[in-house]
Structure 1
């Protein structure tokens, strides 16, 4: 392990995005990344199951995406940058996504920030 990362996994809520984790979630991250392609976005919005089939997602990956289990997606190995693609397509803001990852409401999360009027 990279010496700079030693001990980080002991920090509550920290999920290291390692090469191994990245490789194990490559299919999911490709699916999420490809939501930038208009045809893929339209397919996902119109028929998520067909989009999952096209990407070859596993049952676990499909369930994580269906439920918008943001924390589960991170634990699985989804890159935050690809999660932003899913959030945009589903109308979820970054603060809403991060609040859900933390198990908080948006209002609870915003109280921990110094950003008046953020949504």
Structure 2
């Protein structure tokens, strides 16, 4: 990955690695102290190693596919609007600093995801 890669290019690479289910390579796109906050899932995940562990866990739980609907760029930010083959939709915001993801926030419906993938639904 090039240091001067634009946010939109970086997120396009992120999507390819996400679809490949490659936790190690996707984690390499993040800064060491990056934050990944999937609002529907849990508290923010802090640090590249923890982000890699999160992706490894998620990729082993379900086959996830990200289909890009829109990908926008605004200065240091990329905005991804996506869907998956099962009909789930969401969006993600990526703050890219010096060619790596510093901060990511994602919005999607966790209950729909769990049901679609026939995963256990936690008790409240």
Short-chain TM bin = under 0.3
> What TM-score comes out, normalization by structure 2 length?
0.26
Larger radius of gyration: 1
As a proportion of its length, which structure holds more helix?
1
The higher relative CO (CA closer than 8 Å, separation ≥ 6) is in: 2
> What TM-score comes out, normalization by structure 1 length?
0.27
